[in-house]
Structures are given as C-alpha cells and as structure tokens.
Structure 1
Amino acid sequence: MKRLLYFAFMLYSCGAAAFDGTPTFSKTVAGVGHTLTLSHWTLNTKGIPSFEYVYVQHTTSCQFRLAGRVDGITEERDGKTMLEVYNPQNDDGGAATQVIMFFDDTVTITLPYQGHLRDVGISGTLTAAQRAQVCTRPKNNKLSIEFRK
C-alpha cells in the first residue's frame, strides 16, 4: 500500500495524464486503417512514467505493426528528475494544449500533459525495411499521425 501511495504521489507531482487499462485510438486515412493501443503504464523509482504501445496500419491486403515500450522525456530541475512539458502552437500560431512526450528507438508518442487522452500522436523515422512493409506509400521515411477522440 505504501508503494502504491508513493507512485500515486510521484505521478501527481509530475502532472502526467496517466491512463488505466488499454486505451485504443483508431482512424482511417485514404482507405488505410490506423490503430494505436497503449498499455501497462508504470513508474520507475524516480516517478518517471513509461508504457507499452502497439501501432498498426491495415488494409484488406496489408498489415504493418510497430510495438515497443516508450519512456517519458525528462529534465533535471532543482536536483529532481521531472517530465519535460512542451508548449506546442496550433495552426493559428496560438498556444495549443501542453503535451508530454515519450520515446524509444523507433517512435515518439505525445500525450496531453493534463486531462483526458483525447489527442494522441505518434511519429518516427522508418527504416528501409519498415518503409517497404507499410500500407501507405510515404514520400519519405517519416511516420506521423494524430488521433483525436
């Protein structure tokens, strides 16, 4: 119980929008289905979150899958390790919702800093082998898609 309270305090202190269960986001773009599933939100001993993801592109004749575990991007402040909060701009140049970012060797995933998981993004650079397997034909080796609930 003490450990659970410690992790809850650390999560609250870093301000991250944690999730329960396995939230799934889906959309179709130009006939290609895109699905992102998040799971297993955990905190390390410093209170920094990480979670697992599965991203899938699919059509009737193709399926491409990326999966892994991403860690929160952190910064040191006053001797403490904290999640780094980003302040993106919207299309009009105004302030958009603050986000936190998670990464592994393949992708970066953005989540809202606070509130519900409504806007989630995944981006990355595909290897030549991955690019040959995707269901879309990108002009370059970049993967970038945003999900909105």
Structure 2
Amino acid sequence: MESQDCEDPWERHWNIQSHDVEKEFCGPEKEEKANINAQVLENFNNTTARRNAGYVVRLPFKEDHEFLPDNKVLALHRLRSVLRKYQQPHILQQYHSIFQDQIAEKILEEDDENKDTVGKMKHYLPHQPGFTPQKDTTKLRI
C-alpha cells in the first residue's frame, strides 16, 4: 500500500525542494521576491562603481549595529591557555618570531593601555593557533 502519506517525509521534502524555484513563488510571495530582488539590485548599484580597469565595491557594513562588548579578559584567558598548552621552547620561539614579523608588517598591533579609547570601539580577537608538526610547510599557523 503506497501513498504519499506513507512516503518518507524527508524524501518528500527533497523532492519539493528540487522543483523549479520560480514555481515556489506565486502571488504575494512572488511580489515579495521581486521587491527583495529590487532592493538587492539597488544596494548593488549604490555601492559598486567602475573605476579605471576594475570595480570598487564597498564592504557590506551594517549601518545600525550593536557594538561588540569588551572581551579583553576572555582574549587574555585564551592566550594563557594556548601558552600553557604549547610550553616547548622551540614553539614559543616560533610564536615570538611570527608575532614580531606580523607586528612589523602591521598585521598585529600592540595594545596601548594608556591610549584614550572613550567613545571608540575596542574588541580583541581571541588567539586560535594551528599547530601541525607533521606538515612540511606551515607547522605553526597563527
């Protein structure tokens, strides 16, 4: 006894999803899709410009957004945890070397505790290293 009700619900879901997407939007949904497409196109036109031999595209920053909280304590705890895990001198030397290179290239910057940050956002990225000693090229990724 086979009927659509006895069919596996996931199989039915995938069959519905695989049909032509245009058929999903009809009536008010089709109008909503057209409105969304118009908004996307307008935003693209407002934030993209052709200059010289290429295009300039503005990064998609949100206009109204919540500021990130101060997470310095969390980031310091994460760094201490990493330092406890990788205590071998040769790994710490690699860390130091990579950090110094990245500071010189302005990828990293040192935090100035005395710098006035009133009214400015300050958020730290917790450190997440990748240590793969079996690789030939990048054994330590920061």
Tell me the TM-score normalised to structure 2 length: 0.24
Tell me the TM-score normalised to structure 1 length: 0.24
